């Protein structure tokens, strides 16, 4: 993980004999054993526990068997556009009625799980409980759930927070998740292309027209940032998709600014009776 860079003294013209076979790997072996020892001691002092219920687990940053069983993963069959699950398997490559009647600006959306119980607890602990360490775990799950989107992406962009909310929270959970997804997929992340210039009220409980009005003019891409965006396939990352209006509005802004296509990847999404609210 941390490659060693052996030094040389070329300026002094000193020729060094090649080390004996296996000698070069000895420091790495010692470092690995020390790390394993350190993890073992840490597990004794702080035994690994479930991220949700704190029951004992075999590995750190994991869920116990009971909580994992309650995490309602979103897997195929689902709408290929919205990523919302079908209640029955109707075959692959299908679109939901919502996607056909009112297609979003983004090309595809994917989520790890439905936003209930376990997923809600994890998202709330990251966002409101200052559990920033959860971003690596949730981001890893997101990278697997959205593997096809991640593979096609040229650039990852998180949904931005308004500066007022960022000052109050001190971090943007979407940016943390985007960084984690980017590390897994070896993709570039840029948290400064898309900006939020207007503080908006929460979308929950608003009508369709009220949502659109609430988000009107909320996002923008500066002229300078447009040059970094032109012609790229964007993966837009957020923690939770509730109504879908936020990512849809953000996707429209990115497309107008020159992006070739926008996909959406979130940790969890609200699903009602097998379909998400659009």
- Among the listed residues 78, 75, 44, the one whose alpha carbon sits nearest the alpha carbon of residue 60: 44
Q: What is the pLDDT of residues 180-219, one digit of tens each?
A: 999 999 999 999 999 998 667 665 666 666 666 678 788 9
> How high does pLDDT run on average in the chain?
84
| The pair of three-digit structure tokens given for residue 67, joined into one six-digit string | 């909580």
Q: Is residue 8 scored above 80 in pLDDT? A: no
Contacts of 49 (CB under 8 A, 6+ apart): 55, 56, 57
Q: What gap in Å lies between CA 167 and CA 165, rounded to an integer?
A: 5
Burial string for 126-140 (b: 16+ CB within 10 Å, else e) reads: bbeeebeebbebbbb
Residue ranges matching CATH 3.40.50 in the chain: 73-269
Which range among 56-60, 164-168, 239-243 shows the weakest confidence by mean pLDDT? 164-168
Q: Output Rg (C-alpha) for the chain, integer angstroms.
A: 22
pTM: 0.80
Name the DSSP letter for residue 137.
Answer: H
Q: Is residue 4 scored above 60 in pLDDT? A: no
Of 6-20, 153-167, 193-207, 210-224, where does the model show the most confidence? 153-167
Q: What pairs with residue 157 in β-bridges?
A: 236
Q: Before 204, cis peptide (omega within 30)?
A: no
* Rounded average pLDDT over 77-103: 90
Domain range 73-269, CATH architecture: 3-Layer(aba) Sandwich (3.40)
Q: What is the pLDDT of residues 101-157, one digit of tens each?
A: 999 999 999 999 999 999 999 999 999 998 999 999 999 999 999 999 999 999 999
| The pair of three-digit structure tokens given for residue 10, joined into one six-digit string | 């070329």
């Amino acid at each position: 993980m941390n490659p060693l860079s052996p030094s040389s003294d070329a300026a002094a013209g000193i020729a060094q004999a090649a080390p004996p076979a296996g000698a070069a790997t000895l420091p790495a072996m010692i470092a690995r054993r020390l790390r394993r020892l350190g993890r073992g001691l840490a597990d004794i002092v702080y035994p690994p526990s479930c991220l949700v219920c704190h029951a004992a687990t075999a590995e750190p940053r994991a869920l116990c068997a009971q909580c994992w069983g309650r995490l309602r993963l979103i897997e195929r069959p689902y709408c290929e556009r919205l990523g919302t699950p079908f209640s029955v398997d109707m075959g692959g490559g299908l679109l939901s009625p919502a996607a056909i009647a009112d297609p979003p600006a983004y090309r595809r959306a994917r989520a790890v799980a439905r936003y209930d119980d376990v997923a809600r607890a994890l998202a709330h602990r990251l966002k409101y409980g200052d559990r920033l360490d959860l971003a690596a775990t949730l981001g890893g799950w997101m990278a697997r759930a959205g593997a096809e989107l991640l593979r096609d992406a040229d650039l990852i962009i998180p949904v931005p927070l308004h500066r007022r909310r960022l000052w109050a929270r001190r971090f943007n959970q979407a940016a943390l998740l985007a960084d984690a997804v980017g590390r897994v997929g070896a993709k570039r992340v840029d948290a400064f292309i898309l900006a939020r210039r207007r503080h908006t009220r929460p979308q929950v409980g608003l009508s369709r027209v009220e949502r659109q009005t609430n988000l009107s003019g909320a996002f923008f891409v500066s002229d300078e940032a447009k040059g970094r965006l032109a012609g790229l396939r964007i993966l837009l990352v957020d923690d939770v998709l509730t109504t879908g209006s936020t990512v849809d509005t953000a996707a429209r802004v990115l497309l107008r600014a020159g992006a070739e296509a926008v996909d959406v990847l979130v940790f969890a999404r609200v699903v009602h009776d097998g379909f998400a609210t659009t």
